[in-house]
Chains A and B, each alone.
Chain A
Amino acid sequence: AQKITQTQPGMFVQEKEAVTLDCTYDTSDPSYGLFWYKQPSSGEMIFLIYQGSYDQQNATEGRYSLNFQKARKSANLVISASQLGDSAMYFCAMRVSFGNEKLTFGTGTRLTIIP
């Protein structure tokens, strides 16, 4: 069975600094996708970034990048130049097995940006 682990329940970061949110995963399936979602206090789930297991390069989307280390089974989210609006819960998720699109989520990391 697949599993996502986020070991940082909470993080405090100074505004404008970069922050790395950790995510490790476990699956025996060679084909999988990794996702990061942001959940602000308003409650909605906002898609941030996606990495496929066969992608040769790390994914980037604006200030978000994904540090994908396949051998270590890690998919850390890096946010550059953090802003106050980045304060939120962040969830790492995985999809395995083409044909079954369900996502398995980690427990999340609560990020607080300090002015």
Chain B
Amino acid sequence: DAGVIQSPRHEVTEMGQEVTLRCKPISGHNSLFWYRQTMMRGLELLIYFNNNVPIDDSGMPEDRFSAKMPNASFSTLKIQPSEPRDSAVYFCASILGQGTDTQYFGPGTRLTVL
């Protein structure tokens, strides 16, 4: 079975540009998570969805960040406008359902904002 799929794997953009990161969770999984990893802050949750509904977005840094999950097989994380401090690896993860054990991570998107 395919794992969590993220695109693009690498993104280099200039400050002020819009960036859209994409994620396809494992088929049949009901919850999807967006994490950000930086040297300074480590791994931190940005937002998570259950059955396509945002459950916890307390980690979304500011209004420049937005996330959507229009259906069970697709989610986007958008940054507009991007800033150099947004440079990080962004991971998407999914789990089968609430209370199950394991979050499966995608390969990540390495974002560099110049």
Contact = CB atoms under 8 A, between A and B. Distances in A.
Contacts of A52: 101
Interface stretch (A19-27, A71-79, A93-101): A93-101
A91 interface: yes
Contacts of A91: 43
Q: Is the interface of B mostly helix, strand, loop or mixed?
A: strand
Interface stretch (B48-56, B68-76, B79-87): B48-56
Contacts of B25: none
B21 interface: no
Contacts of A90: none
Contact of A35 (B31, B48, B55, B102): B102
A103 B103 contact: yes
Interface residues of B, number: 24
Given A33-B101, A43-B107, 17 more contacts: A43-B89, A43-B110, A44-B108, A45-B91, A45-B93, A45-B105, A45-B108, A47-B103, A47-B105, A50-B101, A50-B102, A98-B98, A100-B55, A102-B33, A102-B45, A107-B42, A108-B42
Interface of A: 33, 35, 37, 43-47, 50, 52, 91, 93, 98-108
22 contacts: A33-B101, A37-B105, A43-B89, A43-B107, A44-B107, A44-B108, A45-B91, A45-B93, A45-B108, A47-B103, A91-B43, A98-B98, A99-B98, A101-B31, A101-B48, A101-B50, A102-B33, A102-B45, A103-B45, A105-B42, A105-B44, A106-B42
